[in-house]
Structure 1
């Protein structure tokens, strides 16, 4: 029997079991039937963020950002491009630190943009500062 991974739906937050070898086969959510991977960063608030990092069987790359942050806005298109390269091996998400101040405080986000990589519910790597798409991809792949 093939090993399966938990993948949290970016649309309805249902936890889906996906066979490890089927991640690249465009899996859909068993609950809402939408694609589990869209190639775009998933915008998460506090409660959704906690579910995605706690229940995900794949690494989760988080961009902690704010709308007033110039470097954050400058990095946004690169992060979008990186999502297209990283999924489905890595879930790519964004957390607005203005709206999710509790999450920013919990993870001691002191500067933005900050990228953090989570695996199995725990932070495994962090990088502050804006990066271009190739550097985001390389950074995430070497740590995922």
Structure 2
């Protein structure tokens, strides 16, 4: 039997079991039938974010940002480009710290942008400050081992 992995749908939050060998085949959600990966960061909030952290078997790379933050705006295109390079083996998510102050407080976000990497439901790495695409990809890949 082929190994499978759990992927939370970014559209409806349904948990999907996908054979690992099929991740690159543009898998669709069994619930809403939309693509599980789109090659771009997913804006996320509260309960949905908690489910993605807890239930995704793939690592979750989170950009904590705000619309008034200059470095955040400068890094946004690089983070979007990193999504194209890291999916489907990693989910990239954006959390607006202004819209989600409880999440910012929960994770002790003191400066933005801050990237956090989650695996197995827990934080495994954190990096504050803007980075370019290659640095984001290299940092994320090296942090998951």
Query: Under TM normalisation by the shorter chain, which class is it?
Result: over 0.9
Alignment of 1:94-113 (within 5 A): 94-113=94-113
Alignment size in residue pairs? 144
Report the equivalent of 1:30.
30
Deviation per residue, 1:47-97 (Å, 9 max, x gap): 111010110000000000011111001100000000000000100000001
Q: Equivalents in 1 of 2:63, 2:36: separation in Å?
A: 19
Alignment of 1:87-126 (within 5 A): 87-126=87-126
Deviation per residue, 1:13-41 (Å, 9 max, x gap): 11100011111111000000000000000
Gaps of 5+ in 2: none
Q: Equivalents in 1 of 2:121, 2:112: separation in Å?
A: 21
Structure 1 residue 78 corresponds to structure 2 residue 84 = no
Aligned to 1:54, the other structure's residue is in SS state helix
TM-score norm. by structure 2 comes to 0.98
TM-score norm. by structure 1 comes to 0.98
Q: Equivalents in 1 of 2:90, 2:105: separation in Å?
A: 24
Report the equivalent of 2:12.
12
Gaps of 5+ in 1: none
